[in-house]
Structure 1
C-alpha cells in the first residue's frame, strides 16, 4: 500500500497547470482495486497546492488569494495580508477553489508599512502585465525578510493547452541595500494530438539600491521582462534548429514543411495533413 501511495503522490505533485482534477480522476481509476486512496494523499495535495501557489476565493468574494508555505499560519490555515484575512482550505477537496472559515487577521509585522507599499506597487505591476493573476507579500524569517509571490494562470482546455507563471522572491530588510533572490517558473502543457510540456526555472539574484517598494518592484519587473525576451529568443532558435531537426525532411504529406511559417501550423494536424478544427 505504501508504494501505491508514493506512486499516486508523484502523479498528484506532477499534475500540469489546471489539470489536477483530471489527474485525480486518473489516479482513482488506476488504484480502484486498492479502495479510496485519496484521503491518504492529503500530504501530496498540500505540497502541490503550496508549491504551485494555488489560488482560492475568499468566502463571499471574487478575490483570489494565494496558498503557499510563506503565508501558512498553522495546519490548513493561511493568511492574506492585503485583505487582512486568515482562511482555511481542505487540500483534498480544494478542487472547487473556495476557502472557508475566514476570519479577520490584522497584519502584525515590524515591516507592515513596507509590506503594504510592496503590495501596492506589485499590484500595479501585476495588473499591467499579467491577466488573471494573484499576488502576495508576506513577512518571513522572524520579520528579517519578506516574500514576494506572483502567480498567473491561463487555461484553454478547448484548445488543448494550459499554462502557469510563478515568481517567488525573498528580500532581506535588515540593511539599506540588498539583493532580491528568487526563482521564476513557467509551466505550459500542450496536448492536442500529442503531449508536449515546457517546464522552465530561472534563478534570480538582483541588486537593489535601497529597500523601498518602488526600487524592488522595478528590478523585479525588469528581470521578468528580460526572462520573457530570453524565452522568446529560445523559441525562435528551437523553431529554426532543434525543432526542425526532429522532423523528417518530408512528412507523410510528401511536401516540405515551410519552416518560416511554422508558427502557423497546428501541431499534429496541418503538418500531418489532417483537417483543422
Structure 2
C-alpha cells in the first residue's frame, strides 16, 4: 500500500491543466501536514507539464523543463540568454542573470527558435516555446494552455521533439490533456509519437513538426465527431422512458411518491 505522502504527491503530479492550485488547496484542507514534503512532486509536475513563468522585469513567458534545468537547481532560457531561480511551490522566478548560449549548435538553436516561434504564433492562439541544446540533441518544446473555468474546462497541448544534428533525425511526442468538469468529471489524456528522418535546416524541421501536429489535430477532430455521433449518444437516452424531459429545477420541490413516480400525495 502506498504511503500517505506518496498518495498526496500523486495528486499533485496528476493535477489537471490549470488546476494545481485547487489540488493544493484540497490537500491543505485534508492533509495539511503533508504540504511541506511535496517539493519533489511540485518539481516533477512543473518540469513534465512545461509550466510557464515570467522572468523578473519581463512580459514574456519561458518554460520550465528538464531540458533547460541547470545542475544548481536553476533554469535557463536560450532566447533571452538568462538563467534564473524557480520556486516550484509558488511557481515564481527570481534572481535572473545573464547566461550566454554556449553550444556547438548555437547557430542551429537560434535558427530553430526563430522558425518555431513563427510557426507557433501561426497555429496556436497562445503558446510558449523553448529550444535547448542538450548533450546529444536539440530539444524543441512547446506548450499551449487554454483555461476556461467559467465554462468548467481546461486544456493543455504539449509538444516535445528531439533533433539529432548529426543524423538529421527528429523524434517526439505530442500530448493533449483536457479536463471537463461541469456536472461531472471527464478527462481526456492522449499522445502521438512523431518520427522523421532526413530533415535539413531549421525551416524544414519546423515544417515536419507543423505537418505532424496538423495531422494529429485532424485525427482528434474526426475522433471527437465519431464519439459525439456514436458512442456518447449510446451512453444515455435523449428522453427518459416517459418521453418527457425531466424538469430538474423542480425536483427539489417534489415529495417522494408525488409527481416523480406519478402517484398521489399521501
**Pairwise same-fold verdict (TM > 0.5):** yes
**Please, which of 5, 18, 39 is the counterpart of residue 42 of structure 1?**
39
Describe how 1:14-93 pairs up with structure 2 within 5 A: 14-32=14-32, 35=33, 37-93=34-90
**Cα distance, 1:78–1:253 mapped onto 2, change above 3 Å:** farther
Gaps of 5+ in 2: 250-266
Measure the CA separation in 1 of the matches of 2:242 and 2:94: 55
Q: Take 1:272 and 1:163, find their aligned partners in 2: how far apart are those partners?
A: 31
Q: Name the SS for the 1:131 alignment partner.
A: coil
**In 2, Cα distance between equivalents of 1:166 and 1:7:** 25
1:237 and 2:226 matched? yes
Q: What is the TM-score of this pair, normalised by structure 2? A: 0.89
Structure-1 separation of matches of 2:242 and 2:117: 50
Measure the CA separation in 1 of the matches of 2:143 and 2:108.
21
After TM superposition, give the deviation of residue 131 of structure 1 in Å. 1.8
1:228 aligns with 2:222: no
Q: Is 1:217 equivalent to 2:217 in the alignment?
A: no
The answer to whether the 8 A contact 1:208-1:219 is kept is: no
DSSP-derived class of the 2:38 partner = helix
Q: 2:242 and 2:75 mapped to 1: Cα distance? A: 55
Partner of 1:99: 93
Query: Over alpha carbons, which structure has the higher Rg?
Result: 2
- CA distance in 2 between partners of 1:249 and 1:84 (Å): 57
2:83–2:99 Cα contact (<8 Å) kept: yes
Superposed displacement of residue 252, structure 1: 7.4
1:115 aligns with 2:109: yes
**Structure 1 unaligned runs (5+)?**
256-270
Out of 85, 108, 126, the position equivalent to 1:132 is: 126
The 1:252–1:60 alpha-carbon spacing in structure 2 relative to 1, beyond 3 Å, is farther
Q: Is the 2:74–2:84 contact (alpha carbons within 8 Å) kept by the matching residues of 1?
A: yes
Question: SS state of the match for residue 31, structure 1?
Answer: helix
Q: Cα deviation per residue 1:159-204 (whole Å; 9 max; x = unaligned)?
A: 11111000000010113xx321110000111111111111111111
Of 84-93 and 242-251, deviating more is: 242-251
Q: Secondary structure at the match of 1:89?
A: strand
Per the alignment, residue 185 of structure 1 pairs with: 175
Task: State the aligned residue count.
Answer: 248
Cα displacement (A) at 1:242:
1.2
Distance 1:75 1:49 in 2: 17
Q: What is the TM-score of this pair, normalised by structure 1?
A: 0.85
RMSD across aligned positions (CA): 1.7
Alpha-carbon separation, structure 1, partners of 2:127 and 2:242: 42
Give the Cα separation in 1 of the matches to 2:240 and 2:56.
54
The equivalent of 1:170 in structure 2 is 162
Q: Counterparts of 2:159 and 2:40 in 1: how far apart (Å)?
A: 23
Cα shift at 1:246 = 1.1
